[in-house]
Amino acid sequence: MAEAPNLIIQLQRMGDLVLSFPLFAWLRRLEPDRPLWVAAEPSFYEALLPLAPPVVFAPPGAASLRRTRFHRVINLSHRPEAARLAGELRAEFRAGGVERDGVERIVGAWHLYRASLVQNNRHNRFHWADLNGLDLFAELDPDGLRRCLWPEARPSRGTGRVGLFVGASEKAKRPDPAFWGELAAGLMRRGLHPVFLGGPAEQAPGAQAARLARIPHANLCGRFNLAGLVRFLSELDLLVTPDTGPMHVGAWGGTLTLNLSMGPVNAWETAPFPPGHLVLRPTASCVGCWTCVRGPEPPCRERFTPGRVAALIHSLLKPGHTPPTPPGLGLLRTGRSGQGLFDLAPAFPRPASGPETEARPRDSLGEFWRQWFLRRLGGPADTLPEALARLDESHPLGGASLRDALTLWQARLAAELRRGVPAGDWWRQAPPLLRPLSGYLQLSLENDDYSRQARLAALEHTEALRAAVKN
């Protein structure tokens, strides 16, 4: 008798579907005899079939989903219809958002963690692709991430063809046409061959950029359907793009990708997932915000200047050459940590001092929280003592500040829970360095209707953290 299949529900956009590919591959490796189905939008999965791991795709309304009894149903979408579908189908186990009897719950500790990042991701150091699967790894194969091999960026073919993807879902996340036009002109002066890419919505800005660069024939925006774009990206030496779905398509297909990470994005969450790709992001203290609070035009965008980015790209495509990092920016390379998790590290040796060292205390705090949640929620073996030591080293008050803030906030939380249900977004009342914890606890409590068991679990969580940082 055939084993009951697993089902993954992914009804989000193209980039989200590509970032689900690692979970597909993980499940195929962990349970090779169990079929894997994926409910997704046909407009996305049909074009991505050449890139996707071998799974059975189906539209969310397919009758076959209702006829089948599944082993697991894993909902990776935040759309209400996805939660309803996860609750309606027959399954032994469920994870993610699940609606039953008109009430939606989040099932799975790591799915809760991911949901808690809304407006609260400043210190998050987990990639979305890893978060998709961490609940399963904690259950099936905690150390299996170390054995995973992902397709790396392939070497340049030497053609000099550079794709410039001019679009992104939000204005704050993408450069304007003038930037792209000047960048293309700078690349041409250096002997490279830029083309402008985008969908129908990018036809006008692509045409404007091409006119400014005086290469109107290089505007290919709106020329490709998704399947054609997948094929074209595979022919490039380099794809230069803001945070957008085609960035993930190009990177998964092996095209070396340079992500211009600007605006309200956190590269730790949404950078190209496979190893060997590049992220250029500001060194500002506010980098990785959920929403920019510094005005309608995020100041981080000003650090990306066309001339300096063109010089960087030219150097990147010269084998064995160390490119100059533009002032106010840091160049990072995607890779894997010793635990097998997504990692970002300086693309080239970091100087002993200078702008690239500005984020070290914050990075140490983010790494501490990563290791803490691995200890509490499961997954690869944590390295919490080492992370705490690095936090103490990065700033004289790093660890001490965490300990002092936790002592005060723990007492306040206990008092609030004794009095009743705290009102509003009480997680924001915690000091900023504790908000990864406070956000997770508030969502956990709400998810379990502030039951006695949930309250005790929240207090035990804070007590365990206090004990860990005191040692």
Pick from 295-299, 378-382, 428-432: least confident: 295-299
Q: Can you give the pLDDT at residue 309? A: 95
Rounded to whole angstroms, the Cα distance separating 250 from 234 reads 7
Rounded to whole angstroms, the Cα distance separating 173 from 95 reads 31
Dihedrals φ, ψ of 301, to 5°? -65, -30
Q: Can you give the pLDDT at residue 149? A: 82
Q: Can you give the pLDDT at residue 67? A: 96
Same fold, 6-107 and 161-358: yes
CATH code, 6-107: 3.40.50.2000
Rounded to whole angstroms, the Cα distance separating 313 from 331 reads 11
pLDDT at 236 over 70: yes
Average pLDDT over residues 99-121: 96
pLDDT at 353 over 60: no
Contact 230, 50 (CB under 8 A): yes
CATH superfamily of 161-358: Glycogen Phosphorylase B; (3.40.50.2000)
Average pLDDT, the chain: 91
Written as one letter, the residue type at 329 is: L
Rounded to whole angstroms, the Cα distance separating 468 from 414 reads 19
List, in sequence order, the alpha helices (H) in 337-397. Answer: 360-377, 384-394
> Between these two residues, 393 and 336, which has the higher pLDDT value?
336
Contact 211, 245 (CB under 8 A): no
Q: Can you give the pLDDT at residue 350? A: 61
pLDDT at 52 over 70: yes
Q: Which residues pair with 148 in a beta bridge?
A: none
Residue count (the chain): 471
User: How distant is the alpha carbon of residue 303 from its chain centre?
Assistant: 22
| DSSP conformational letter for 137 | H
| Residue 128: CA count within 13 A, CB half-sphere | 22
Closest-CA residue to 215 (of 259, 255, 183): 183
CB atoms within 10 A of CB 242: 23
Rounded to whole angstroms, the Cα distance separating 289 from 169 reads 16
Contact 142, 339 (CB under 8 A): no
pLDDT at 449 over 90: yes
Domain map (residue ranges) of the chain: 6-107, 161-358, 359-471
Pick from 53-57, 74-78, 396-400: least confident: 396-400
Residues 6+ apart with CB under 8 A from 193: 159, 160, 161, 162, 187
Q: Can you give the pLDDT at residue 363? A: 87
pLDDT at 1 over 90: no
Closest-CA residue to 51 (of 249, 272, 239): 249
Q: For the chain, what percent of residues have pLDDT higher than 90?
A: 71
Written as one letter, the residue type at 457 is: A
| DSSP conformational letter for 13 | -
Q: Can you give the pLDDT at residue 396? A: 67
End-to-end CA distance of the chain: 53
pLDDT in tens, 308-328: 999 999 999 987 777 778 888
Say which residue the tokens 């061959």 belong to. Answer: 193
Average pLDDT over residues 409-425: 89
Dig out the tokens for 296 from the structure: 């309608």
Q: Can you give the pLDDT at residue 327? A: 86
